[in-house]
Structure 1
Amino acid sequence: MLDDLQLFVRIVDAGSLNAASRVLEMPAATLSRRLQALERRLGCRLLHRSARRMELTAEGGQYYEHCRPLLAALQQQTESLGTALNQVKGVLRVLSPLSLGNDLLVPVWRRMLQRYPELRLELRLNNAIDDLFSGMADLALRVGEQPDSRLNQRLLGWVRTLLVASPAYLAERGEPGAPEALANHALLLAEPFERWRLRRAADGAESELPPASLQVNDMLLPRRLAEAGAGVAVCPHSLCHAQLRDGSLRQLLPEWEMAPRPVYAVWPQRRHVPARVRALLDALTEFAEAEPLLARPACV
């Protein structure tokens, strides 16, 4: 019915069926048929029309005066929504694990802020699985398989998990030569690694982790304690790459690692994805494709 209301207003604005036919590029007979259908639905005649002229009835004039501003407002809102969907501006709310968002992905946030000055990023960095359907975020970064079929997902890469310790700690306590030797060391664990096993890529052999001296729900603390010489940390490579590079940490048992975990961008399924979300997805994909720390491991 909305389309017929728009046609009615356009016919009145044009002054005749023939003029409206030329403007709308639609046969006059089609316009007349749809106008008659609208009149039947409303139960009143809207226009007196003849071959040469057309006049509004009293009911038609009243209806026109009510419909025209409403349709104009609807058109304005539609254009405004189209602009919002196709311009990278406004508020972009993102959920991310602290270990990724506060370290590895810093170049992505910088790129978004530099490229899109009308964009405001709101980053919620924590390890909780917040509800994307509550409207609190447009997109989330998550580590591990994502079974929720209500979410769109894009695989960005993989994160390895290593055993690391400081040179000072190893000089004092010695370097473990096998997973069993970890029982003689202070093991520093963050969730969810307390439930994982070490695996040797060469032959698939597995080994249980011994009980931890520290268990915490933040991945950054074990790395910091390892840097301070407090023990052996189980740490994502994405969180300790700089320390391995500068020598403040060393990787232990390099042939033994935990199973690599996939990193996904996920967002609610919707008919139209706003441009700001599409821009972030593109930035994340471009970054991940060039970032060695997110490369697919040979064992996957």
Structure 2
Amino acid sequence: MLDDLALFVSIVESGSLNAAAGRAGMPPATLTRRLQRLEQQLGCRLLHRSARRLVPSSEGWQYYERCRPLLDSLRQATEALDSAINHVAGTVRVLAPVTLATGVLQPAWAGFMTAHPQINLELQLSNQREDLIGSGADLAVRVGPLPDSQLNQRLLGRAPTVLVASPAYLQQHGWPQHPHELAQHALLLAEPLMEWRLQHRSSGEWLNLPPPATARLRVNEIQLAVDMACAGLGILYCPLSQAYRALADGRLQRALPDWRGDARDIYAVWPQQRHLPARVRALLDYLIDFTAGHPLFAGEEL
């Protein structure tokens, strides 16, 4: 009925059936049948038609005057929605872990905003896994398994983990020779990496070490735990992305060189829907390109 209404408005504004049919790209006979169907649905005559003239009835004028503003509003709303969906502009809301967002991904946010000056970026950072749908966010970056099947996902990369300590700590307390000896050391726990998963480089043997009953430090911010390890307070299991600078400049060393940590999957996730708005798709594509060329997302230790 909405299409027929739009045709009726076009007939009135065109002044003739032939002109309106030309604007609509349909035969005049088809337009006439559509008009008759609309009149039957409404139960009144909308137009007085003769060989020379086409004049709206009183009911037709009332209907036209009330419906034309509604059609104009609908057209404007459709154009605005099309602009929001198909143009790289507007606000993109993102959920992400604090450490990852402020660390290795920091250049990605700046680069994306520079490349798309009409984008406003809202980053909600938390080390807790927030409800993506309930928060109203467009996209989330998540690390580890994804039990929520109601979300679309794209693997961005794999982040290796490392077991590290400062040279001063290792000189004072000795180097552990096997993961089972870690229980004799001061351990620093950084949530959410409470279980330490290690693989022997030569044999391929895997060991899962449960969280110790006591730890020298337990903190839910990984960068602080890295700083504490650099200060010589204990041995830490953490993402390589947080420790690689300290490893490169010698503030940290690998505590068990014959063992390596597990690699954790990093995903971009978003609510299930047929089409992503262009502004969200632009950010997703930027993150995919950024992580594809970054060694810290390759899943291998440097």
User: SS of 2:124's equivalent?
Assistant: strand
The separation in 1 between residues aligned to 2:135 and 2:54, in whole angstroms, is 51
Alignment pair present for 1:240 and 2:243: yes
- After superposition, the C-alpha distances for 1:190-243 in whole angstroms (9 at most, x for unaligned) are 223223432225433233437233222222222111011101111101111111
SS in 2 for 1:160: strand
Tell me the SS of whatever aligns to 1:177.
coil
Letter in 2 for 1:281: L
2:181 matched residue in structure 1: 181
Residues 131-156 of structure 1 deviation map (CA, whole Å, 9 limit, x = unaligned): 11124311100001213222111110
Q: Does 1:285 align with 2:288?
A: yes
1:153 and 1:208 mapped to 2: Cα distance? 27
Q: How does 1:3-42 map to 2 (within 5 A)?
A: 3-42=3-42
- Please report how far the alpha carbon of residue 272 of structure 1 lies from its aligned counterpart in structure 2 after TM superposition: 3.4
1:46 and 1:59 in contact (8 A); partners too: yes
Q: How does 1:114-193 map to 2 (within 5 A)?
A: 114-193=114-193
1:297 to partner: Cα distance: 4.4
| Secondary structure at the counterpart of residue 70 of structure 1 | helix
Tell me how far apart the structure 2 counterparts of residues 38 and 255 of structure 1 sit (CA, whole Å): 80
Letter in 2 for 1:295: A
Distance in 2 (alpha carbons) for counterparts of 1:249 and 1:98: 22
Alignment of 1:47-126 (within 5 A): 47-126=47-126
Taking a change above 3 Å as real, the CA distance of residues 230 and 135 of structure 1, as seen in their structure-2 partners, is: closer
CA distance in 2: counterparts of 1:269 and 1:6, whole angstroms: 33
- Contact kept, 8 Å, 2:196 with 2:237, in 1: the verdict is no
How far, CA to CA, are the matches of 2:18 and 2:254 in structure 1? Answer: 81
Would you say the 8 A contact 1:222–1:234 is kept in 2?
Answer: no
Structure 2 residue identity aligned to 1:206: W
C-alpha distance after superposition, 1:253-291 (max 9, x if no partner): 234233311100001122432222111101100101100
Aligned to 1:270: 273
Cα contact 2:48–2:55 (8 A) shared by 1: yes
Kept after mapping to 1: 8 A contact 2:160/2:299: no
TM-score w.r.t. structure 1 length? 0.94
**Identity percentage of aligned residues:** 55
Worse-matched range after superposition: 232-241 or 216-225: 216-225
Q: Please give the alpha-carbon distance, in whole angstroms, between the structure 1 residues aligned to 2:275 and 2:39.
A: 35
Alpha-carbon distance in 2 for matches of 1:193, 1:113: 31
Letter of the aligned partner of 2:81 in structure 1?
L
Q: Give the letter aligned to residue 107 of structure 1.
A: P
Number of aligned residue pairs = 298
What is the deviation of 1:107? 1.1
Note the residue ranges of structure 2 that are not aligned, 5 or more in a row: none
Q: 5+ residue gaps in structure 1?
A: none
What CA distance in whole angstroms lies between the structure 2 residues aligned with 1:107 and 1:60?
A: 61
* Separation (CA, whole Å) in 2 of partners of 1:215 and 1:22: 75
**TM-score relative to the length of structure 2:** 0.93
